[in-house]
Structure 1
Amino acid sequence: MIETTVKCVIREPLTSRYVLLLETLCGHYLIPVNVGDLEAESIYCVLNRINTPRPMTYEFIARIIDSIDDANLDRVVVDRYEQGNYKASIYVICNKSEKKIDCRPSDGIALAMRMGIPVYVEDNILCPSCCVDRTNINEKDNKVLANLIDDQDGPLWHI
């Protein structure tokens, strides 16, 4: 497994859908994950330290988990890629036993960001059909990619 960080959330210009970019800590790989509008907004709020007037869904879930004795979220793992979609699991330690729970990557990542737990990708995700290997693209394309990511108004880009 490789640890990642949330690089940004981008609004894709052709379809107006949101894409979350995970970046491996070494910076060589970008993993584009499609996310819904609400998940994009939730992740944007965490990235930009925006407080909401009342707890939203992921804050509510995080508070529930925090209130349960002997229950801790350990990690989120983007562990497979099937038919153009990423799949993920969240790992919960409860009473010294580890539980694996399937989840959408966007839900797991939004919760992980609120609870300060790491997000990993399995090694098999780091292939040309699943991610962008920045070490294998030409300099011009790497500059375009860097401009796309860096040319945002904060970590969320609006068209």
Structure 2
Amino acid sequence: MAGLFFICTSIYHIVAFGTPHLHSKSQDTHFPSPLKKIQLEILGLSSSQSQSGSFALILGEKGGNRRLPIIIGMFEAQSIAIQIEKISPNRPLTHDLFKSFAEHVHVVILEVVISDLKEGVFYSRIVCSDGATTFDIDARPSDAIAIGLRFGVPIFTVESVLSEAGIILSDLDEAEGDADDDEDEEDDEDTDTDSPRASRAQPEPRDPSGQVSLDELTKMLAQALEKEDYEKAAKIRDELNKRNG
């Protein structure tokens, strides 16, 4: 709510006083130039299994094989889901109110950009225009996407964000194949009563430091995605990125 109050206040200042305090394209903009933007599309929305009241919003690289999971709050998830399903609430939600307010002061939304990732927190900008000036407003990705959906504008990110936080499906397909092969081997061995695997469970492969191996983490990531447990997948992805430096 506080974030949307700031956005609405910013639009009011645009109409009343101009845009000196915002990131105008004619001034020093937030985005580097030239900016390589990557378009995203919404692939799914699922409830968090470890954080009550949270949801995982899954964004996919349009025309690519990378996925970007973002954890969002329940209110924002509801607002996004309502817009995706084209449901009209009895009374306007906060993001609907923002759209009505922007339209009345003749401000349009051009695009939404997930522009940065710092210490696990995503940052985004809502790129707007009042007809004379193009400017961008700081917003949480969940609010920015909920608003962007109502204006029917594209969602973008930048390569640095997607390369750091994205999950590549091609690597996961290979991992799933390896995991299936391992399961088949385990089934064959379990049918032999003389096999040690029939009498005791085997520990997960670990490297000399005592950590789960990179290969095993990759397989766990594939399994989490197959089960659509995107929150767990995001945590495993972060651990893989940390291990790979």
TM-score with structure 2 length normalisation? 0.56
Higher-strand-fraction structure: 1
* Counterparts of 1:107 and 1:77, CA distance in 2: 12
| Deviation per residue, 1:7-41 (Å, 9 max, x gap) | 11111212232111111111411111111110011
Which of the numbers 107, 110, 120 marks the counterpart of 2:146?
A: 110
* Counterparts of 1:146 and 1:63, CA distance in 2: 40
**1:30 aligned partner:** 67
* Counterparts of 1:146 and 1:86, CA distance in 2: 24
Where do 1:44-123 residues align within 5 Å?
Answer: 44-69=81-106, 71-123=107-159
- Matched letter for residue 32 of structure 1: P
* 1:144 Cα offset (Å): 5.7
**1:11 aligned partner:** 47
* Counterparts of 2:228 and 2:120, CA distance in 1: 22
* Counterparts of 2:226 and 2:109, CA distance in 1: 33
- Tell which deviates more after alignment, 83-92 or 59-68: 59-68
Percent identity for Structure 1 against Structure 2: 22
| Deviation per residue, 1:110-134 (Å, 9 max, x gap) | 000111011100111121x411111
Q: List gaps (5 residues or longer) in structure 2.
A: 1-36, 177-218, 230-245
**Cα RMSD (Å) of the superposition?**
1.8
- Matched letter for residue 35 of structure 1: I
* Counterparts of 1:143 and 1:82, CA distance in 2: 27
- Matched letter for residue 134 of structure 1: L
Q: List gaps (5 residues or longer) in structure 1.
A: 150-159
- Matched letter for residue 20 of structure 1: L
**1:132 aligned partner:** 167
Higher-helix-fraction structure: 2
| Deviation per residue, 1:72-118 (Å, 9 max, x gap) | 11111001000101100011112321111110000000000111011
* Counterparts of 1:147 and 1:46, CA distance in 2: 25
* 1:46 Cα offset (Å): 1.3
TM-score with structure 1 length normalisation? 0.84
Choose 1 or 2 for highest CA Rg: 2
